[in-house]
Chain A
Amino acid sequence: MKFGIVTFPGSNCDYDAFHAVTDALGEEAVYLWHRQTDLAGADVVVLPGGFSYGDYLRAGAIARFSPIMGEVVAHARRGAPVLAICNGFQIACEAGLLPGALLRNASLSFVAETVRLRVESADSLFTSEYEPGQILRIPIAHGEGRYTADEATLDRLEGEGRVLFRYVGADGEPGEGSNPNGSIRAIAGIVSEGGNVLGMMPHPERAVEPLLGSSDGLALFESLLSRVSA
């Protein structure tokens, strides 16, 4: 299986994603420069973390108009997988691949720490190798990760089982103390209507081996592998 990792000017987690795919998962990965207009045969597109275009105007607002995004959107519309992490999530929302928006953290602080995530659904392209309700330890590092959407959209996301990850505390339940950015309903990750685009603020690619402090992110990549190559 081949992963295409998009590099925008200002991306800085593209190497982490490459490492996760090639060294931890043992699959093929290629970098896709944002000015390219083809995906080099990638089965899965990764929109990585970073600060594309310096977060000017709004995080992700300018990257969404990069030449490669036309192909990424077409790839997603065909139902093929897109993994949008952190800045990638912001770009995917701006591009209309996912509903809602990511705003400045409620604390106004940049937050870099390992958080607990609860797997809300294991019935997805990205979470089939997890158990429902499983608690993961995954790092976050962002200043604009407060997910928001209107109530109707949120109810729809919940009703369709499209909220895949929520921030939780040691007791496994969401709460104000364990919500690192003030995201509405403690939402950490959602999928598109077709289930093939995942947007999440936490970084599973930075938690793929014990040396990194957690290997809880690896099963996300393994889920893709088992479902996409099946």
Chain B
Amino acid sequence: MTNFRVAVHVIPRRGILDPQGTAVAHALQTLGFSGVADVKVGRHIVIDVAARDREGASSAARQMCEKLLANPVTEDFEIATVEPA
């Protein structure tokens, strides 16, 4: 078994009102970032996990997202990075 560090992104699903993202977008526009079209605020979760290989670590993280880390009704997730820890 090898130790891996997996980073996952959990973001509000497109089409579902994200008032937090809207508030941040307005603040950025007020600061002069006039090119900002949309902002989504989600979570960046870093997991240290022992697995046989990179694929195993990624697959475990996917299951964690499906079971707990993301709400399947309102959120999408992606495995951002898998690195040896």
Contact = CB atoms under 8 A, between A and B. Distances in A.
Contacts, number: 35
Nearest to B74: A101
Interface of B: 16-17, 19-20, 23, 43, 68-69, 71, 73-74
Please indicate which of the listed interface residues A58, A62, A105, A108 has the most CB atoms of chain B within 10 Å of its own CB.
A58
Chain B at the A interface: SS class:
mixed
Contact of A104 (B20, B43, B73): B20
Nearest to A58: B71
Given A101-B73, A148-B74, A106 B68 contact: no
A182 interface: yes
A94 B19 contact: no
A106 B17 contact: yes
Contacts of A99: 73
Contacts of A134: none
B17 A61 contact: no
A149 B72 CA distance: 11
B17 A57 contact: no
A107 interface: yes
A57 B69 contact: yes
22 contacts: A57-B43, A57-B69, A58-B71, A61-B68, A61-B71, A62-B68, A93-B73, A94-B71, A99-B73, A101-B73, A101-B74, A103-B16, A103-B17, A105-B19, A107-B19, A108-B19, A108-B23, A148-B16, A148-B73, A149-B73, A182-B17, A182-B19
Nearest to B72: A101
Contacts of B69: 57
Contacts of A150: 73
Chain A at the B interface: SS class:
loop
Contacts of A94: 71
A147 to B, nearest CB: 11
A169 interface: no
B68 A104 contact: no
A93 to B, nearest CB: 8
Contacts of B74: 101, 103, 148
A161 interface: no
A58 B73 CA distance: 12
A9 interface: no
A180 to B, nearest CB: 14
A108 B20 contact: yes
B66 to A, nearest CB: 13
Nearest to A150: B73
A100 interface: yes
A104 B19 contact: yes
A101 B19 contact: no
A100 B73 contact: yes
Nearest to B70: A58
A108 B71 CA distance: 19
